[in-house]
Amino acid sequence: MALRVDLDEPWLADVGFGDSFLEPLRLIPEIEQEQDGQRFRIAAVRGVMIMQRQVGAHSWKSQFRFTLTPRQLCDFEARCQFQQTSPASHFTRQRICTLPTRDGRITLADLKLIRTTQDGREERMLQNEDEWRAALAEHFGVRL
């Protein structure tokens, strides 16, 4: 989920997409904005806004699309219900915990520990539930 926040100017805040920008972006199409060594921009195409991330020196990858149509919280109830209960949702098919870090992101997806940085992605399979609990405590401060 992304929110438009109006202060001195309009901003785009990512409140649920995950591996994206951490601080709000100015909601101004076609300007490049940098955060933690990554470049972002918002493209406007026929009434649809597209948040993009730079990949490589000259390429941009679309991350998500949105409009500026105001919404109510109830507009998200069906999708929220799906994410929480549907067997097709990746949130019900595995345990997942993820946090941004200074240089990227740390993710625990079932028994897979994933470190993502600008230099790449490193995956390590944990051997058992004890290692999973230890990783959950060490990286996320969650003790079960």
72 by Cβ neighbours in 10 Å (0-12 / 13-18 / 19+) ranks as exposed
pLDDT exceeds cutoff 90 at 15 = no
- In the structure, what pLDDT confidence band is assigned to residue 102 with cuts at 50, 70 and 90? confident
Stronger pLDDT, 102 or 71, i.e. the higher one: 71
Q: What is the pLDDT of residues 35-81, one digit of tens each?
A: 878 899 999 999 899 999 998 888 999 999 999 999 999 999 999 99
**How many angstroms separate the Cα of 5 from the Cα of each of 34, 42, 125, 144?**
19, 15, 40, 36
Token pair listed for 66: 């949105």
Q: Does domain 2-70 have CATH number 3.40.630.30?
A: no
> Which of 56, 36, 55, 51 is closest to 102 using CA atoms?
36
Task: Tell me which residue has tokens 């105001």.
Answer: 70
| Phi and psi at residue 76, to the nearest 5° | -105, 0
pLDDT exceeds cutoff 80 at 11 = yes
Mean pLDDT within 22-34: 94
What's the mean pLDDT when you consider all of the chain? Answer: 92
Indicate the domain borders of the chain.
2-70, 87-140
Mean pLDDT within 105-119: 93
